[in-house]
Amino acid sequence: MPGENHPIIVGVGQHTIRDGSEAALEPVDMMALVGRKAEEDSETKGLLAGVDSVRVVNIFAWRYSDPAGLLAERIGATPSDKIYTTLGGNTPQLLVNETAEKIANGEVRTAFLAGVETVNAVRRARQRGVELPWTPQGKGAPMVGDARMGSSEAELKHGASAPIQVYPLFENALRAHYGWSLDEHHDALSKLTGTFSKVAAENPYAWFRDGKSGEEITTPTAENRYVGFPYTKYMNAIMDVDQAAGVIMTSVGEARRLGIPESKWIYLLGCGDAADIWFPSERENFHSSPAIKACGERALEASGFGIDGINYFDLYSCFPVAVQIGRDMLGIRNDDPRPLTVTGGLPYFGGPGSNYSMHGITTLVDTLRNEPDALGMVTALGWYLTKHAIGVYSARPKDDDWYRPDMTKDQEQIDTAARPVLAEQANGPATIETYTVMFDREAKPELGIVIGRLGDGRRFISNVEGDLESMTKREMVGVGGRVRHDDTSGKNIFEL
């Protein structure tokens, strides 16, 4: 039997407003809507108004002065605990982990966790010159979490500071690590993305439900141009959505007191959260994530199960490489038949800013209720495979007491690991470690980014001088050339 303070999810809600399907809702009203859906899902009237903690995931499209307080007003609650997170796709699962610990320690009785993005509605209003009649934007609320920016000065200087620029660097490095040819890589990405797209096609909350094939997704065309090689447009996370999701959490004892049916209970069996070395250019390599590995190991240890016991996954999927590295670090085989997403993933389900994984959690809850003997795992990440959080879920309780793993030693080991020496001003013979080519909206290559090594082993980041188009036609990892520092621009330039 589970302990009285074992944390559980008892209600979930999601909502998607597609173009023209219904009137745009203010972000806080969308969160209140999914809150009412979550209460209805719990089959317990008055649950929402009685929460003593309201926790809101960072909102990108609209800045409120007090998001959690405003949401509490909308749902008729008077919580003593109000939380707003920093930016980061890891935050929904991190919030669940932290809330579970508060519940287990008796510090929180019942909590509503929610997030939303209305990037699509805001963009369309600006295009039409319409002023949205929403609560005025504020200067920003106090935030919980790591608020550091994701890129170093050197990365920013060389144009490797946006997700569309950085994740292709990981992808090309991973291909070389696997030893795949460009064609083999294309086929593997087609299989992976096509599978995700099919899942999204069956999801009523997905933004794109057209079920594109893998070949449609991975083959560059006029409509589906390269963004950052090897990623076409259809392989990039789509933030231009209007989506919200939320969960209600409480303890086993409180759920019994409130009369919430046990058929609604989903247990958080294990969890973990950690961060990799902060800046990508300072990490040992571009094909692994020690933090995901550590989080997965601790979450599984706490759950009492191994990775082979998990039936359903929702691996964070902003770009294909995030899925592949997550899979590798968790010990899932490349040919494992288990589904790696329950939603369809950020490029096809939709990528509502920091809140995507809240949709992964809510969808997994419904899945596990329908299959009570199954186990599920959600992985969530922020920035560039930087901040990580993992949760293991089940409709069945664990046999021993719940605990949140102490990740202090794991984090210390990650932080103190050897890292390459960076050459800010690089000159001389050099070898490409990883690379990408960025394309403009007319499908023309406009920027080459190379991360490489000098003869003495020091790493550098640079831009490229030469035929950028040719870099998409052959494997460039391991190719030699020369790098020079340009004093005028302050950039390193790699010469093909």
Q: pTM for the whole thing?
A: 0.97
Q: Which pair of structure tokens corresponds to residue 251?
A: 């303890």
CA dihedral for 344, 163, 135, 77, sign (positive or negative): positive
* Residue 166 neighbours by CB under 8 Å, 6+ apart: 151, 155, 160, 280, 384
Phi-psi sector, 344: left (phi>0), alpha (psi -120 to 50), beta: left
pLDDT in tens, 138-168: 887 777 888 899 999 999 999 999 999 999 9
Residue 210: the pLDDT is 96
Instruction: Output the DSSP codes for 46-79.
Output: TTGGG-SEEEE---SS---SSHHHHHHHHHT---
404 within 8 A of 101, measured Cβ to Cβ: yes
Q: Which residues of the chain have pLDDT under 50?
A: none
Q: At what angle do helices 290-303 and 408-415 cross, to 10 degrees?
A: 170
Instruction: Output the DSSP codes for 273-339.
Output: EEE--SSGGGSS-SS--HHHHHHHHHHHHHHT--GGG--EEE---SSHHHHHHHHHHHT--TT--S-
pLDDT in tens, 10-48: 999 999 998 766 778 999 999 999 999 999 999 999 999
CATH 3.40.47.10 correct for 7-148+239-415: yes
* Residue 91 neighbours by CB under 8 Å, 6+ apart: 57, 58, 85, 115, 145, 354, 355, 380, 382, 389
Residue 139: the pLDDT is 82
**What is the Cα–Cα distance from 472 to 10, expressed in whole angstroms?**
49
Compute φ and ψ for 118, nearest 5 degrees.
-130, 40
Q: HSE of 286 in the Cβ direction (CA atoms, 13 Å)?
A: 26
The CATH class of the 428-495 domain is mainly beta
Domain residue extents for the chain: 7-148+239-415, 428-495
Shortest CA distance to 376 belongs to which of 17, 93, 57, 119? 93
